[in-house]
Amino acid sequence: MRIPLALGIVAVLAISEQLAGGPPQAPWKSLPEASPVGQQASTGSYIVRDRAKTPWERPRFEYHEEAAMGRKLAKVAVVIYNPVLESEGGKSLIEHLGANDPVEFSHILANVIREASWGYINYEIVDIVEIDGYPRKVDGFLYTDETFMEVRKTQKWQPSTSSYRAILEEAKLIERCRDEQITEVWLWGAGGMHFDEFAGYIPNRYARFAPTENPWFYRPYDIPPEIGHTMWVMGFNYEVGADNMIHSYTHRVESMAALAMGDGIWETYGQRDPWNVFTWLECDHKGTPSQVGNCHVPPNGEQGYDYNNARRALSWADGWYRYPDLRGKARLISSAEWGNNQFGYQKWILEHVPKYPGSTAYGYNNWWVYIANTDEDLPAWKPPHPSRFVLPKGMPLASEPPAK
């Protein structure tokens, strides 16, 4: 009997986790603290003028099977800014806008990442914090119901970004993230609340990953460093579809892959590292098949956001199911491959992100280590009763069927 590749990998991951103890100390934790070079950008990242001329040497890499394989548990707190509008009869902003349910969408994202990583990343939503109010900006500005509803009419938003420190303080999450090892906050609000698609603080980032010219690869903003571990804050808008939520996560994947695999450079013309090969596009390199593509442009795309293009183009995308050996024939691909829509495409590109045992000179073959197990110390995910079938609390026991 042939076992599907995905199921086979998951089985190997599970067996590996059972055999392994706790993860050993990751080499990066012994690196001396490195000061950033360059100028600080609005994202909180330091950027250099010319990455190619900036000296950089990768730190020593050690392959840790415990970090690279198994099923990992990542704890998430969901924070929802949903003010109650007295002027609208006490309706919440979500009710007033007819917006989407952030809790439902958060579970959609958790499922997409679980599937795309073949069970490696298992997000557990450990708390849902709903706030009757608006996020405080970095300059101290705070909307009221009246000022927020008025500016929605004019779209002349107060320009400052929201303060991640103030948000985590208001939600009483700084100590909890540190003490309970919560590694992610998924932040929900309406248009105009000015969250970034993702933000992330990485301890000793400038020793662990290369400098870059791009201010969007690393976005710490004012996430409190005293949390002590890598902290991701995803920023989502409940007024738009789930496709935009997955889109935001794909940008996070791009940023971490560019730092970890591309050494801070995203340039497919001059680079042949795994990330710059993954994002190779036929529309940029006429006469050569695409690889997988990027968040905005599919392998058959001709421009940004070209998710419903029936044009057929040659792509080597299938080779990424055999990473790091990409050899194989290119084949024709159109938007039918992902259902002719953005949600399907974002899921498709995430499913092509490598998730395999082993390593190359570029680091882990499982890129999800960098994306969501950045400190290489997420605990193993284990069901609470692995040998028992347990019904949910409140579900009735078996009974006689009703009489006909």
96 pLDDT exceeds 90? yes
- The residue with greater pLDDT, 172 or 19, is 172
Most confident of 28-32, 51-55, 230-234: 230-234
Mean pLDDT over the full length of the chain? 93
Largest CA distance in the chain: 82
Strands 231-237, 182-189: pairing kind:
parallel
Residue with token string 């280590």:
369
Q: What is the pTM of this model?
A: 0.93
- The residue with greater pLDDT, 5 or 169, is 169
Q: List CB contacts of 123: < 8 A, sequence separation 6 or more.
A: 74, 75, 76, 109, 110, 113, 114, 184
Mapping DSSP to helix (H, G, I), strand (E, B) and coil, where does residue 219 land? coil
**What is the structure's pLDDT at 26?**
81
The Cβ of residue 5 has, within 10 Å, a number of other Cβ atoms equal to 11
**What is the structure's pLDDT at 3?**
40
Q: Do residues 160 and 194 make contact, with C-beta atoms less than 8 angstroms apart?
A: yes
Mean per-residue pLDDT, 73-102? 98
Distance CA 280, CA 144 (A): 46
The closest of 127, 52, 357, 109 to 253, measured between CA atoms, is 109
The closest of 249, 274, 238 to 349, measured between CA atoms, is 249
* Surface-to-core class of residue 18, CB atoms within 10 Å of its CB (0-12 exposed, 13-18 middle, 19+ buried): exposed
Burial 100-119 (b: 16+ CB within 10 A, else e): bebeebbebbbebbbebbbb
Most confident of 57-61, 215-219, 383-387: 215-219
Strands (E), 117-181: 121-131
9 pLDDT exceeds 90? no
Q: What is the DSSP letter of 121?
A: E
15 pLDDT exceeds 70? no
The closest of 68, 57, 92 to 9, measured between CA atoms, is 68
394-to-125, 131, 390, 391, 397 alpha-carbon distances in Å? 21, 29, 12, 8, 9
**What is the structure's pLDDT at 207?**
96
Task: Supply angle C-alpha 345, 117, 45, rounded to 5.
Answer: 80
Of 34-38, 185-189, 302-306, 396-400, the range with the lowest mean pLDDT is 396-400
Return the percentage of the chain with pLDDT > 90, whole number: 88
Q: What is the pLDDT of residues 111-162, one digit of tens each?
A: 999 999 999 999 999 999 999 999 999 999 999 999 999 999 999 999 999 9
344 pLDDT exceeds 50? yes
Strands (E), 93-181: 121-131
Residue 22 structure tokens:
């706790």
The Cβ of residue 60 has, within 10 Å, a number of other Cβ atoms equal to 9
Q: What is the pLDDT of residues 251-305, one digit of tens each?
A: 999 999 999 999 999 999 989 999 999 999 999 999 999 999 999 999 999 999 9
**What is the structure's pLDDT at 400?**
87
Q: Do residues 193 and 81 make contact, with C-beta atoms less than 8 angstroms apart?
A: yes
**What is the structure's pLDDT at 402?**
87
Distance CA 369, CA 64 (A): 11
In a 13 Å sphere around the CA of 367, the CA atoms on its Cβ side amount to 27
**What is the structure's pLDDT at 239?**
98
**What is the structure's pLDDT at 19?**
42
The Cβ of residue 325 has, within 10 Å, a number of other Cβ atoms equal to 7
Distance CA 14, CA 73 (A): 13
The Cβ of residue 38 has, within 10 Å, a number of other Cβ atoms equal to 18
**What is the structure's pLDDT at 27?**
81
212-to-234, 289, 355 alpha-carbon distances in Å? 22, 28, 25
Mean per-residue pLDDT, 348-375? 98
